[in-house]
Amino acid sequence: MASTATAGSGTGLRRSVGFWGLMFVSLGSIIGSGWLLGALTAATVAGPASLVSWVLAAVMLAVLALIHAELGASYPVAGGTARYPYFAFGNVTGFVAGWSAWLQAVALAPIEAEASITYLESTEFAQHHLRMLHTGGGNDGTLNTTGLIVASLALLLFTMINLLGAKLLSDSNAVAVIWKTAIPVLTVVVLITLSFHASNFHAGGGFAPFGGHGVFAALPAGVVFALQGFEQAVQLAGEAKDPQRDVSRAVITAMLIGSAIYILLEICFIGALNPANLTHGWANPIGKGNYGPYHDLALAAGAGWLAALLVIDAVISPAGTGLVYIGTSSRVSYALGEEDELPTALTKINRSGVPWVSILLAFVVGLIMFLPFPSWQSLVSVVTSATAIMYAFGPVSLAALQQQDTDRTRPYRIPAPSVLLPLGFVFANLIIYWGGFEVMWKLDLAIVLGLVIFAIGASVNQTFDRLELRGFGWVLPWLAGLTVISVLGRYGTGAQKVLPDWIDSLVVVIFGLAIFYYTVRFRQTPEQVQRNIETENRRDEALAELRVPG
């Protein structure tokens, strides 16, 4: 069937972002608080074998990045992670994917603000004059009242910049990304040159003191979180000047640069540690209650000037990422707002061509996020697993669309799709599983809440007859199965450890493959796919008058 509809032909959003802007948006999302805190967290969980964790995560996310590169180039729409599953499986599945994408995106700006404060707290000035973390009963990295006020002001700044337009967002982010890419590279060169102890790679119990379990446990503890973000160019595809050419290039380029930097950072971090700190293991390689690892390593190596730059970067790196995620979370809610079951106010565009109601919603929800998750570490695992759920919809959606939308022009095609698509879905499932049961049940609850909101909206708008429930038939068995495996598995509080080591991950692989091939029976027909794409285009046109105030 000829592909007569062009996804993303609506005129509401202003196409003003080029390749470099898209690439910097993705790279700026990858290089955020993860580089400041990820190496320390990974080392405490896996020891020197955390290097394996970074390489494994880079491979897994690279496959998922290739998948999203084809989706973004072929379907250049705003909030694409919500729309691809809608095209492939209908509006209910599209909503669940979009809800998961919005949950993780809206939590990223608060987590970056927390990271900046956490890192700055390690400086001598903050310790003596501006305490922003709780200190009673041991410093656990949670924000006190002063910290909450500073974090809230940071969110307000991110919001104001986003309201001024996608072009300003991409341009300001480009400046920040150049800085925050240069500083990690400089840190690697300086620390390896001044302070590198090869013996650290087998100290404190050997290369892998916590075995394979530690390697996998490090992934949701900060490693995957650090490397995620490549999809942000995809979310802004609706505002790209030439999305068919630029989106895939931007995603792949950002992923390659980010992965290389993070692996080098872990090498230099482990090598720069004081060997005396590792005689009793990896629990406190820097010092208990210390959250500024590279800052302290630079001081110990005699590079005070680098330590000063790292303090500045502790503001710029997380701020740049938080800035991007306010913008991208608003694009996802914009996409959800185009569904009849949610308020069309989410699609309103201001004179700068950005969805201002969605941006303000991201700001308000971001403020609320500080209350149940007042520390960087408390949010990392939840965000990582929510992101993996969002990523998991990519491989199954692309598999369905490749078969049901065969005549579409695809500027980029993923190599060996029969291998990489199921592999990408399995990788996403493993990341979710390694996040642990206590994270899985919280996400289940959040998804159920989203479906309740969706159902209420459908009831109010009397659109139940338009719900495409058949395409949703694989989602609940998938999430329920993952939850059961998490209960029986070996990761996180509440896991019963019924499944032996390695067998548990093998079970996840087999289950993931079964679900991947099971989804085939629930995909939309070619006619339904075209209708869904055309419906999105008509919504863009019908809502144009609502978007831009007269």
Residue 309: both structure tokens together? 């730059």
For the domain 19-132+141-540, what is the CATH superfamily, name and number? Amino acid/polyamine transporter I (1.20.1740.10)
At residue 129, the pLDDT reads: 53
Reported as a pLDDT band with limits 50, 70 and 90, residue 138 is very low
| Contact of 272 with 198, CB cutoff 8 Å | no
pLDDT for position 547: 41
Distance, CA of 140 to chain centre: 24
Mean pLDDT, rounded, of the chain: 83
**pLDDT band (50, 70, 90) for residue 11:** very low
pTM of the model: 0.83
What b/e string do you get for 229-240 counting C-beta neighbours within 10 Å, with b at 16 or more?
A: bbbbbbbbbbbb
- Contact in structure between 549 and 350 (CB atoms under 8 Å): yes
Q: Are 398 and 234 in contact (CB under 8 A)?
A: no
Let me know: does 428 contact 434? Beta carbons within 8 Å: no
pLDDT in tens, 398-422: 999 999 999 888 888 898 999 999 9
Quick check: 177 and 321 in contact, CB under 8 A?
no
Q: What is the pLDDT of residues 499-532, one digit of tens each?
A: 998 999 999 999 999 999 999 889 999 999 998 8
Give me the mean pLDDT over the 276-281 stretch.
90
Let me know: does 395 contact 516? Beta carbons within 8 Å.
Answer: yes
17-39: pLDDT as tens digits = 788 888 888 887 788 778 877 89
Q: Where are the domains of the chain?
A: 19-132+141-540
CB 341 within 8 A of CB 139: no
Which is more confident, 456 or 121?
A: 456
* CA distance readout (Å), 339 to 80, 82, 363: 14, 11, 22
Structure-model confidence comparison of residues 80 and 309, the more confident one: 309
